[in-house]
Structure 1
Amino acid sequence: MHKATILKIDQVTHDVKRFRLVEPEGFDFKVGDATEIALDEDGWRDETRPFTMTSLPEERTLEFTIKGYPDHDGVTERLHKLKEGDHVLIADPFKTFRYDEPGVFIAGGAGITPFLAIFRDLEKKGKLNGNQLIFANKTSEDIIYRKELEAMDGLKIDHVLSDEDTAGSHHGMIDADMIKEFVPDLDRRFYLCGPPPMMEAVQEVLEELGVKADSVEFSD
């Protein structure tokens, strides 16, 4: 495990924080990679949780966008209690997603994190055109990096809110009718990430609509 110092902590939404860390020497990762993080505290060093780097490799610092769960005294909630200057332990990186071709990204809540670095990298290279994001959340206050995502040139976004009916978003759960409305041409590459029950439901919908299994890449 590598020891990394927290440089900066920012509040992103009411329950999501952005952590900027010093990148340890020899920590080489690719866009779409994740790592395991543990607290550098007695009794917690063996308790690891996976998180995706939302920064780009060339930045030479590591960014993580992490949702906290106040009702559960686990690693993520304890991470939310750390301060700038504290340390965490991070393992070597591993692959979550690799961008193959333009497609439809379907994310639920914090499931947006593996896609953030991909979108940032594509925008930087001027290659974001042709990609689409269907982003499901409970309310508008839960949408992570909304302003940044909506400002990305070439990325088409559809917001879906389960607990709120508001202008600029679609109300309900992602179902077959919604996907047919958002994606008229289903002969596309699909990238999925979110809570397992949601991803299972979306996979079933895509299968029902005739999307080939080898056109779908997913992580949770």
Structure 2
Amino acid sequence: MSVPSILRTAARNFVPPGRGSSRLRCRALSSCSNTRKMSSKRQMDHLEKTAEVYRQNAVYPAQVCGIIKESDTVKRLRVSVHPDFTFKAGQWVDFFIPGVEKVGGFSMCSCPGLLQREGVIELAVKNAQHPPAHWIHTACTVGSHVAMRVGGNFFFDPRPSDPPVDLLLVAGGVGINPLYSILLHAAHLMRHHNASGGRDYRIGSAHILYSAKSVQELLFKSTIVELCREFPSKFSCDLRITENGEGDARDILPIARRGRITEVDLRAHVDPQKTLCYLCGPPPMIEAISESLTDLGLPKDRILFEKWW
């Protein structure tokens, strides 16, 4: 089935959450089935980069139900999805757009709890020349029909019987998206744990280290700070600004401070026996942070990362 066929079928069969409809399935796209050698002059697209990564079989119809300006360069979409749509905190979607040949790859920045409550997921997308991102910033409107397929091995999905872990979430730029989803999910589990009197989900701690170029580009900063205030003994954050700006001096404190993330920042939050670290950001940042974490004694199987550039 071709991408246009998938989209036409998805649009015809879309039913808003809460109303019954059959599950839509399709074969995996041919470009997902094998990896080809690419010319150094052409950047691989999302399907080629993730050809060997797990993804669900089903492509689901969906409809944009809200658009929020997150910053001057980032738009957050609220998307109503099919009742059978499921995902784990940290995963992404193949994003199919009518009339756009390229397929987008965007991490959810919402948690499964929002999907359960409202039948909605959220995606925060930075403006770029890549056709799917460009479409979101120039042509997408409330009511636009799309289709989505969930994928990714990068997720946080503990069971009630699992031992508690201390989460260390390290993000650069829009790499915050999957980590924000994980943080929201951890908060959801924390509330569930408290409401049950501690009978479910033995929860550890969560510390988020997040750097961006400017205060404005620190996405979701208000909610991150609010969660740390809601769970002061469990959640903490360290927000960083990496570039100077005339407008930042008065606004930066107490929300954030200047400077890049260093090994010193990591050391206080690494316990080789308990820490589980999730990284998402530019490859050079991930490589440097991974090396520092290894030097601090964190086993490699407890360092999980997602590269998007």
Category of TM-score, reference length = shorter chain? 0.7 to 0.9
Alignment of structure 1 residues 122-161 onto 2, 5 Å: 122-126=186-190, 130-152=205-227, 153-154=230-231, 155-161=235-241
Amino acid at match of 2:155: F
SS at match of 2:210: strand
**Mapped partners of 2:290, 2:88: distance in 1:** 26
**Residue ranges of structure 2 left out of the alignment (5+ in a row):** 1-58, 159-164, 194-202
SS at match of 2:93: strand
Q: Which structure has the bigger radius of gyration?
A: 2
Count residues with an aligned counterpart: 214
**Mapped partners of 2:169, 2:130: distance in 1:** 31
**Residue ranges of structure 1 left out of the alignment (5+ in a row):** none
TM superposition score normalised by structure 1: 0.86
SS at match of 1:141: coil
* Contact 1:28–1:93 (CA under 8 A) maintained in structure 2: no
2:143 paired with 1:68? no
* Contact 2:270–2:298 (CA under 8 A) maintained in structure 1: no
SS at match of 1:29: coil
**Mapped partners of 2:130, 2:155: distance in 1:** 29
**Mapped partners of 1:52, 1:207: distance in 2:** 26
**Mapped partners of 1:107, 1:133: distance in 2:** 8
* Contact 1:138–1:163 (CA under 8 A) maintained in structure 2: yes
Classify 1:92/1:192 alpha carbon distance in 2 versus 1 (closer, same or farther; 3 Å).
closer
Report the counterpart of residue 37 of structure 1 in structure 2.
95
Identity of aligned residues (%): 22
Report the counterpart of residue 181 of structure 2 in structure 1.
117
Q: Greater strand share, 1 or 2? A: 1
Classify 1:30/1:185 alpha carbon distance in 2 versus 1 (closer, same or farther; 3 Å).
closer
**Mapped partners of 1:170, 1:183: distance in 2:** 18
Q: Aligned-pair RMSD on alpha carbons? A: 2.2
Classify 1:115/1:108 alpha carbon distance in 2 versus 1 (closer, same or farther; 3 Å).
same
2:249 paired with 1:162? no
* Contact 2:67–2:76 (CA under 8 A) maintained in structure 1: yes
Offset at 1:25? 4.2
Classify 1:184/1:58 alpha carbon distance in 2 versus 1 (closer, same or farther; 3 Å).
closer
Offset at 1:29? 2.1
TM superposition score normalised by structure 2: 0.63
Q: Deviations over 1:131-179 (max 9, x none)?
A: 1000111111101011111000222000121113643323222222332
Classify 1:93/1:203 alpha carbon distance in 2 versus 1 (closer, same or farther; 3 Å).
closer
More moved, 143-152 vs 128-137: 128-137
**Mapped partners of 2:272, 2:239: distance in 1:** 19
Amino acid at match of 2:171: A
